[in-house]
Structure 1
Amino acid sequence: MPQKTNVHFLSNGIPVILRNAPFHTCKILFSLHFGAGDETAPEYGITHFIEHLLGQSTTGDKTFGTLTKKIEILGGAISLYTTYNKIGCYINILPEHLIDTIQIIAPQITSPVFDTEKIEQEKHIILTEHKRYIAQNSWFLFAQENLFKNTGLGHSITGTPETIKSFTSESLSKYYHSHLSSDKFNIVVISQINNTEKLLSELESTFGNMPHTPYKSKSWTTTPVIAHDFKHDINNTKLVLAFAAKIPDTRKAQIATGLFKKILRDRLINALRYQNGLVYSVKCLTMGVGNTKLYTIETEAQPHQIETITKVIASECTNILTIQPITSKELQIAKNVIKYQNARVMDSIDKSCETYAQYMNHYGKVYDFDMENLELEKTTLSDIITTGHTILNAPISIITQGPEQNDNIINIWTKNFITPK
């Protein structure tokens, strides 16, 4: 059965993305498009703290306990999370309880009351979570703090013990309402929707009065850095080469970037693993959000092999831009892989919800499976090659972690990556 996706707009401009699908359950995603990346130093962790409180009863009604409990009474489940650019609220519910769920969640989002007693209770929980998060993510946080130093992305989403302890009802409320805005909010519903008019009417009555708050998400310029994290209890050295390329935040440019990363990764795994037996895996990823992104090559190996690995990576990056340019066959293979990944996203309710919300916020429209693949097929070799030049010729940062520090990596990269004239 065809699954049609439509976008409707409430009177205040809030997009409501509806995908009518023959499921026995209903998935709702409420996305508030501000996050930890919008915080200043004294505010570090405040978005994550607010996310915790939104999971409580913030309307002053203590009859049914927490928001989680209210949803569970209807047989559903709720999950909230924070990223550097978003607070997300997922709800799984039976379709017949969709309207009731909206009536429960709406006041939590539009007019929360941050109770002092609950804030003090939650501080203990978040401090414990913070310690666990720091302990389990030391490498990620080291890379994040160094690669995004002096930006809003160079800190832990959970904040610091000092900031966590400092939050009050007043500071939380002020921050939340200064960022809550109809142009930074959208709603996704994936379900078998029998009465669209009734659903939209309910959303209009509950969210149609959300104000438009003049606020613009921040963007920064990263500074190239070379840093090493000593870890004497591990045997391998982790290596990240990060390129501060300015890729336009358009769907066309991001698709070209994804294709180039796929082709480059295939070239690198062939050279490093299958030809030379140096590494087990290589990743080509994107770090950051919005207009503050880094494009990375990541791997790990024994410390004495890192110089050789860097040399091979530099040579392959030179080759892909010069003597061995990307072929039509490589591009078609990459397109097939991306198309399959798109299909898996659309087959997953959670992933498709995320994708719809993200694209609506970034590009002002929803890309369903057919639209995404249409843009994919329009991408040319010229687009990929241009993107490759932009990424690999950008300022480079080098981050390592392991038992030994190697100060020669940047020199090896500079010597072996030959910039095309």
Structure 2
Amino acid sequence: MGVEVSRLSNGLTVATETLPSIESVALGVWVKSGARDERDEEHGMAHLLEHMAFKGTRRRSAFQIASEIEDVGGEINAATSVETTSFYARVLSADVPLAVDMLADILQESLFDPDELSREQHVILQEIGAAHDTPDDIVFDRFTETAFRHQTLGRSILGTPETVKSFTSKQLHDFIERQYGADRMIVVAAGDIRHDDFVREVEARLGGFRAKSTGTTPQYAQYVGGDFRENRDLMDAQIILGFEGRAYHVRDFYCSQVLSMILGGGMSSRLFQEVREKRGLCYSVYAFHWGFSDTGIFGVHAATGQSGMAELVPVIIRELERAGESIGQVELDRAHAQYRAGLIMSGENPASRASQIARQLLLFGRPVPKEELMERLAALTVDRLTDLSGRLFSTKPTLTAVGPVGALAPYESILEALPNGTGMARKLAG
């Protein structure tokens, strides 16, 4: 049957997909507003709002929110990202009306009680402290901060202790009033669901939601790159080497995704084979590509001890350089197979499928059929991949490292060793 989409009179988009042989439903509300939409004094508010959504409404206490959904064996949660916030549930099909009612209640009737707020602020302060004490978490925060310096896109989603402690109930109400409107919201259900029935449930509970948000479009992001190092007394150093990536909408987005799989997407990838299997320089190494609405970032993450520090980065750079020289058809075919399998497997999971549909509607204004995605991937060639590699790894690098980083080469030397520099990776190693 595929994805069915309706639009309510207030502009709210409602989408469903019936999945055969599934007796449950994953449903949720996705909002095109995240950490990137915060003002300077609101840093961390989108994440705090996600926490406070379950702390009581005019009709339900915090305990009732938890118990009502668990009384029917369901679950409810929320998540904050750079550009979106989601509130979602998983229930048996007969309990969809309860889940819709609860999500609508959370979005429209949350109290943001000052006592609950104070307790949750304390919880998030502990979360911030725990993240700082976890090197493989904090290195990613420092990575985005360095790549997009002094921009909301580069800020930690958690906020800072100072900003989080300063928030009031009124500020939370003001934020949701400004950022949340039907024009920026998608309601999706996947699983054992009938479209017309679901639309009626959503219409009854969210049909009166304000039509327009008043939030402004975030400032266009500018990738800047740079160097950040934090010397800590640890067993391993966490290292990320990154470059400017591609936004969701541009031609090279899927090419960048496939390139990250070839370089570091599994045990057969180039980086895993060269860095771990052949040289034993680290336990874990992988590549990733994150796309945003107006930019992206490509990175390689690895962890190594002091003995492998001097050799690790030159080896990684050499593999990036080699990708610009040649990529085999066998490697491309393997990446195609991995991508295809990932699409099919996620489509068999109601929660993953609902999230995928919501993202597509928010980003492209329509659900993108699996067949269309596969056609885009099939159009990729080894020549396009090598061409992209040459351009991608010629941008100014972002290097972040946390741990015993004393043996790591200076940033200027790494810059020179890259394809756009005056030397090659072997110069670093020598």
Same fold (TM over 0.5): yes
CA RMSD of aligned residues (A): 2.7
Which residue does 1:286 correspond to in 2?
Answer: 289
Q: What SS class does the counterpart of residue 240 from structure 1 fall into? A: strand
The equivalences for 1:220-239 within 5 A come to 220-234=221-235, 236-239=236-239
CA distance in 2, matches of 1:78, 1:113: 18
- Judged with a 3 Å threshold, the aligned counterparts in structure 2 of structure 1 residues 129 and 400 are, in CA distance, closer, same or farther, namely closer
The equivalences for 1:32-51 within 5 A come to 32-51=31-50
CA distance in 1, matches of 2:73, 2:281: 52
What one-letter code is carried by the residue in structure 2 that aligns with 1:312?
A: V
The equivalences for 1:207-226 within 5 A come to 207-210=206-209, 211-214=211-214, 215-226=216-227
Which residue does 1:383 correspond to in 2?
Answer: 384
292-301 vs 3-12, greater mean Cα deviation: 3-12
The one of 11, 14, 17 aligned to 2:15: 17
What one-letter code is carried by the residue in structure 2 that aligns with 1:321?
A: G
Per-residue deviation, residues 93-137 of structure 1 (Å, max 9, x unmatched): 121121233223213213544333432343333333433343333
User: Which runs of 5 or more structure 1 residues have no equivalent in the other structure?
Assistant: none
Instruction: Tell me whether 1:178 sits opposite 2:181 in the alignment.
Output: no
Per-residue deviation, residues 193-239 of structure 1 (Å, max 9, x unmatched): 24x323212222322333222432443213222121111132x3332
Per-residue deviation, residues 377-408 of structure 1 (Å, max 9, x unmatched): 23333432343233211111111222232463
Instruction: Tell me whether 1:107 sits opposite 2:105 in the alignment.
Output: yes
- Judged with a 3 Å threshold, the aligned counterparts in structure 2 of structure 1 residues 208 and 227 are, in CA distance, closer, same or farther, namely same
CA distance in 2, matches of 1:120, 1:365: 40
CA distance in 1, matches of 2:130, 2:238: 22
Q: CA deviation at 1:257?
A: 1.0
Q: CA deviation at 1:25?
A: 1.4
Q: CA deviation at 1:252?
A: 5.0
Contact 2:357 2:367 in 1 (8 A): yes
Per-residue deviation, residues 60-89 of structure 1 (Å, max 9, x unmatched): 224785422332344422112222222221
The equivalences for 1:19-418 within 5 A come to 19-21=17-19, 22-58=21-57, 60-62=58-60, 65-136=63-134, 137-194=137-194, 196-210=195-209, 211-214=211-214, 215-234=216-235, 236-245=236-245, 247-250=246-249, 253-265=252-264, 266-287=269-290, 289-322=292-325, 325-406=326-407, 408-418=409-419
Q: CA deviation at 1:186?
A: 0.7
- Judged with a 3 Å threshold, the aligned counterparts in structure 2 of structure 1 residues 207 and 379 are, in CA distance, closer, same or farther, namely farther
Q: CA deviation at 1:345?
A: 1.3
Q: CA deviation at 1:180?
A: 0.5
CA distance in 1, matches of 2:99, 2:63: 15
Contact 1:310 1:412 in 2 (8 A): no
What one-letter code is carried by the residue in structure 1 that aligns with 2:303?
A: E
Per-residue deviation, residues 142-171 of structure 1 (Å, max 9, x unmatched): 334333331114433222222222211211
CA distance in 2, matches of 1:357, 1:338: 19
Q: What SS class does the counterpart of residue 149 from structure 2 fall into? A: coil
Per-residue deviation, residues 264-290 of structure 1 (Å, max 9, x unmatched): 232333333344443343211135743
Q: CA deviation at 1:409?
A: 4.3
CA distance in 2, matches of 1:399, 1:157: 18
- Judged with a 3 Å threshold, the aligned counterparts in structure 2 of structure 1 residues 96 and 220 are, in CA distance, closer, same or farther, namely same
- Judged with a 3 Å threshold, the aligned counterparts in structure 2 of structure 1 residues 16 and 383 are, in CA distance, closer, same or farther, namely farther
Q: CA deviation at 1:18?
A: 0.7
Q: What SS class does the counterpart of residue 10 from structure 2 fall into? A: coil
172-181 vs 34-43, greater mean Cα deviation: 34-43
Q: CA deviation at 1:241?
A: 0.9
Q: What SS class does the counterpart of residue 19 from structure 1 fall into? A: strand
CA distance in 2, matches of 1:401, 1:128: 21
CA distance in 2, matches of 1:128, 1:411: 37
Q: CA deviation at 1:355?
A: 1.6
CA distance in 1, matches of 2:231, 2:212: 47
Contact 2:2 2:18 in 1 (8 A): yes
CA distance in 1, matches of 2:179, 2:168: 17
Contact 1:242 1:297 in 2 (8 A): yes
CA distance in 2, matches of 1:346, 1:307: 43
